[in-house]
Each structure stands twice: as C-alpha cells, then as structure tokens.
C-alpha cells in the first residue's frame, strides 16, 4: 500500500508543470545583467582616468560612485511600492529600461557631471531588481520553494560579477571602452523582450501554466492583510530594526568597495593590463574571486543550519556563524603585503566568500525577529542604510587614494567592519527575540538621531577636497568654503548627537515600550 501511495504521489508530482522555473531563469538573467552593468565602471576606470576629456582622478571617480549609491538608497525605499502598485511585470520592465538607458549613456559621457548623472540613473533603475524579483517569486512559487527560488536568482549577481571582466577582455580591444558600455546594454534590451513575452503577473492567466502547476503554486493560504499606519516610522523605534540596519551599514560598503575599487587595486598592485585588456589575467583573477565568493554564500547558510540541528538556538547559531565569517575576513588586512597575485586572489576571495556567508545570515534576521508583514519594510530600511554606508566608504576611498595613494587603510577597514557588525547586532538584539507588537509612536530620540546622522552624511558626501585650510561644502565652482576645524567639528557634533540619541533610546526603550503597548 505504501509503495502504491508513493507511486501515485510521484506521478502527481510529475504532472505538475515547471514553467515557474523558467520565471526564475529570467530573474537570474536579469540579476546577472544588473551586476554586469553595475561593475563595468570599476573595470574600465583605469582607461577612463586616462581620457583627457574627463579629467577624472580618484576623488572625482569616488564622487561618481557616490551618486550611484545615493540613487540606489533612494530607489530601494520607493521601488517596492512601485512594484506593488503596478505589478512585477511592468515594475521590473520599468527598472530595466531605466538602468539600461543609464548604462548605455555612460558611453556618451564626456564630463564627470555627465558620468554622475548616468550613474544616478543606473542606481535608480538597479534598485528595483531585488524588490521586483522577490515579488515575482511570491506570486509564482508556493512558500516552501520561495527561499530556494530567491537563492537561485540571487546567484546571478556573482555570475554577473564573473562575466563582466570576461566581457571587457573580449570587447575593449575590439571596440573601445565607450562602445563596451553601449553594446553590453543590448543584453538588457533582449531580456526586456523576453520578460514582456513570457511573464504574467497572474499565473492563472498564462497559457503555459497547467491546472496542476497552478494548484501547486496556489497551495498556501493567502496572507492576511495587515495594515499598520506609519509602519516605517514605528519600525525605526525598534532596536531589532537597527540591529539589521547597522549590520548592513558596516558590511555593505565592503562589497561595494570590492566591486568598484578591486579591479584598480589588482591592476596597480600587480601591473595587470586594465587599459588595453590584451591578456586574460585580470579577467581570470577577478572571476576567481567571485567564483570563490559563491561558495561562501552556500557555506554560510549551511553552517548556521548545522549549528541549529546540533541543538543551538537561532540566536547563538546565527551570531556564531557571523563571528566565524568575520575571522575569515580578517586576513584581508594584509592583502597589500602579499607579493603574489594568486595568493592575493585567494585572500580576497576568502574575504568575499566570508562576506557572502555573513550576509546570508544577516538577511535572515528580519524574518527571525519580525512578523511577515513587516519583513519587507525592515529589509528596505536596512538596504537604504547599507547604501548610505557604501557612499561614505566610497568618499573615504577617494580621499585616501588621492592623498595617500595606498589601499592599505581601505583593507584595514574591510577587515574590521564585520566585527563591528556582529557587535552592533548583539548589543541591539542580545537574544534575537521576536517583535510581536510595535510602539504606538516613534520616540523623539530616534528622530533626532536620524536627522543628525542625515545632516552629517549630506555634509560629508557633498564636500570637496580641502585646500589651504578650507573645505568646499558643495561640489560646484561657487561652493562656500568652511575652515577645516569648523568642518570636522560639525561632523563630530552630528555624530555625537546621533550616538547619544541612539543610546538614550536603547536605554529608555523597555520603559517606553511598556507604556505605549
């Protein structure tokens, strides 16, 4: 009887169609294209810095990258709502159209300002990739398959990071750097045609989806509709929100650093040809780093799961895994002291793999600690804070390379960031306890901290190079100039106010929560 039942179940499973996996294939391809377009500027940086029309140096390159990250932070907050309003089909299409046009516009940029505008457009468009992809998975997959489907399409990011240097090696010697930007934009246009032809927001209306597959997709009960007025502001009052957001603030900048500055570092440190791309060495070295990083993404999720199966609590398993990953990153501090290219690739590859393992566990914290209806908002807040951290890191990198001409301080920051992330997660959420209800109002201390931090970030990102004891605080010809003492005093004051307000909110949090709930 048992054998007959198993045989019936097997035949039923075989009758269920597989068109939903075609959708994952489209999402995978879009994510790969997203990372090809994102990383291209870092790969072509050495050529662009020699173009006399651009007048680009390390500091102006950093400013261009900052505009991308600011746009990404803005778009990450808003694109989820756009996708919810118009659906994933049109929402994803809009994102790809915006980022493809902006990416191709890089090839026609003849000034730093034009590059910054193109980069800003790219950031707005690319910020829609993950919200639209997750929405598509939620529509096309039952709950038990969603995590695997998201993991599959997210793997496209590393494939794109591997493909980008190979495309440079194949295309730059033949068509030059400007046409490389334009021709790689064609991938986005081809994907757009496939997406509009093959994707529908409702699987029931798709001719390729049979009754069995539709029933399989729709097997879960519908999520209850939960409305929480002012949800985002109320989430800012939760320490668990900031545990995730500060974790992103510390580690996301390191990944951005690898994407935008690693090609230039390997080229200058090991004399790789990133100007004519006449040899495949640079493409192989960068591809190897991102190939190694793929292993970390799988290993990080496996290790925390293994700890939980051995009897550890979720709290201990997640944090121990993140701490192990932090120690695996630590050797990257010595990357600039390694004379051999492939030894350096191994060290940086290990750090990138550890980042992916750390990130896989950090991304689970919102679902570990918040109700389902709040998870998307928490991830949106964390993604925005992480992009702001990336912009600060870019500004710092440009300043260090312009003044000191060495990558050593940047790799030191990369080695320390993950320990700061683990510490902030643990201090703000010692037990990873679930949040079942929210405060009715957002404490004033949270708003003060956010405002002070935002003022400091804007002043820092908008400032130019200090000359004769004066710091221009807006990057235009007629920008006002502030004395260095006043400038750094203002930044210190903003940081002090933000830290004091966060501390006050953390200390007073339990009393306020008890009174409001």
End-to-end CA distance of the chain: 55
Taking alpha carbons only, the member of 10, 499, 42, 481 closest to residue 473 is 481
Q: How high is the pLDDT of residue 8? A: 45
Taking alpha carbons only, the member of 237, 510, 202, 513 closest to residue 374 is 237
**CB-CB contact of 95 with 125 (8 Å):** yes
Q: What is the DSSP letter of 333?
A: G
CA distance 357 to 303: 9
How far are the Cα atoms of 219, 501, 508, 513 from residue 438, in angstroms, in the given order? 31, 19, 15, 8
Q: How high is the pLDDT of residue 227? A: 66
**CB-CB contact of 254 with 417 (8 Å):** yes
SS3 per-residue string spanning 109-156 = CCCHHHHHHHHHHHHHHHCCHHHHHHHHHHHHCCHHHHHHHHHHHHCH
Handedness of CA 502, 508, 514, 517 (dihedral sign): negative
Positions of the chain with pLDDT lower than 70, given as ranges: 1-16, 147, 220-227, 439-442, 466, 468-469, 473-479, 505-506, 508-517
Q: How high is the pLDDT of residue 13? A: 47
Strand partners, 482: 471
Q: How high is the pLDDT of residue 456? A: 82
Q: How high is the pLDDT of residue 347? A: 97
Taking alpha carbons only, the member of 146, 53, 59, 28 closest to residue 107 is 53
Longest dimension (CA), the chain: 88
Rg (CA), the chain: 24
Give the tokens for residue 103.
Answer: 């990416």
**Domains of the chain (ranges plus CATH)?**
1-218 (1.20.1250.20), 238-436 (1.20.1250.20), 443-517 (no CATH)
User: CA 421: distance to chain centroid?
Assistant: 15
Burial of 236 (C-beta count, 10 Å sphere; 0-12/13-18/19+): buried
SS3 per-residue string spanning 250-287 = HHHHHHHHHHHHHHHHHHHHHCCCCCCCCCCHHHHHHH
Tens-digit pLDDT profile for residues 6-50: 554 455 444 667 888 999 999 999 999 999 999 999 999 999 988
CA distance 82 to 80: 5
Burial of 462 (C-beta count, 10 Å sphere; 0-12/13-18/19+): middle
CA distance 181 to 106: 6
């Amino acid at each position: 009887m048992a054998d007959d039942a198993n045989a019936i179940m097997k035949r039923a499973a075989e009758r269920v169609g597989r068109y939903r996996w075609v959708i994952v294939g489209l999402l995978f391809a879009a994510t790969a294209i997203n990372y090809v377009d994102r990383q291209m500027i870092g790969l072509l940086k050495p050529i662009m810095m020699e173009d006399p029309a651009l007048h680009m140096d390390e500091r102006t390159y950093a400013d261009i990258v900052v505009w991308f990250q600011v746009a990404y932070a803005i778009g990450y907050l808003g694109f989820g709502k756009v996708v919810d309003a118009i659906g994933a089909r049109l929402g994803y299409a809009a994102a790809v159209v915006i980022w493809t046009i902006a990416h191709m516009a890089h090839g026609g940029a003849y000034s730093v300002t034009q590059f910054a505008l193109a980069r800003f457009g790219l950031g707005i468009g690319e910020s829609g990739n993950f919200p639209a992809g997750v929405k598509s998975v939620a529509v096309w997959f039952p709950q038990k398959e969603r995590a695997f489907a998201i993991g599959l399409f997210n793997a496209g990011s590393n494939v794109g990071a591997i493909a980008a240097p190979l495309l440079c090696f194949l295309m730059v010697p033949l068509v030059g750097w400007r046409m490389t930007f334009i021709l790689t934009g064609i991938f986005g246009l081809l994907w757009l045609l496939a997406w509009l032809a093959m994707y529908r927001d409702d699987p029931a209306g798709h001719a390729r989806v049979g009754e069995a597959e539709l029933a399989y997709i729709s097997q879960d009960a519908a999520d209850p509709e939960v409305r929480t007025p002012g949800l985002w502001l109320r989430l800012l009052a939760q320490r668990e929100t900031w545990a995730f957001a500060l974790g992103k603030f510390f580690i996301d900048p390191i990944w951005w650093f690898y994407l935008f500055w690693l090609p230039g570092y390997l080229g200058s440190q090991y004399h790789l040809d990133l100007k004519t791309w006449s040899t495949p060495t640079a493409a192989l070295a960068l591809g190897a780093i991102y190939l190694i990083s793929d292993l970390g993404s799988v290993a990080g999720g496996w290790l925390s799961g293994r700890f939980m199966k051995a009897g550890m609590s979720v709290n201990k398993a997640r944090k121990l895994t993140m701490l192990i990953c932090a120690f695996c990153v630590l050797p990257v501090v010595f990357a600039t002291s390694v004379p051999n290219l492939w030894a350096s690739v191994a060290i940086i590859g290990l750090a990138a793999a550890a980042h992916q393992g750390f990130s896989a566990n950090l991304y689970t914290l919102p679902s570990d600690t918040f109700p389902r209806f709040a998870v998307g908002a928490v991830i949106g807040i964390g993604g925005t804070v992480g992009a702001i951290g990336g912009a600060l890191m870019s500004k710092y990198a440009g300043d260090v390379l312009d003044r000191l001409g060495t990558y050593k301080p940047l790799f030191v920051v990369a080695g320390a960031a993950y320990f700061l992330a683990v510490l902030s997660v643990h201090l703000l959420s010692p037990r990873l306890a679930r949040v079942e209800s929210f405060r009715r109002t957002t404490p004033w201390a949270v708003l003060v901290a956010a405002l002070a931090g935002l003022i400091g970030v804007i002043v820092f990102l908008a400032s130019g190079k200090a000359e004769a004891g004066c710091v221009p605080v807006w990057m235009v010809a007629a920008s006002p100039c502030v004395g260095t003492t006043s400038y750094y005093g203002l930044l210190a004051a903003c940081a002090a106010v933000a830290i004091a307000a966060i501390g006050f909110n953390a200390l007073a949090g339990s009393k306020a929560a008890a009174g409001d709930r």
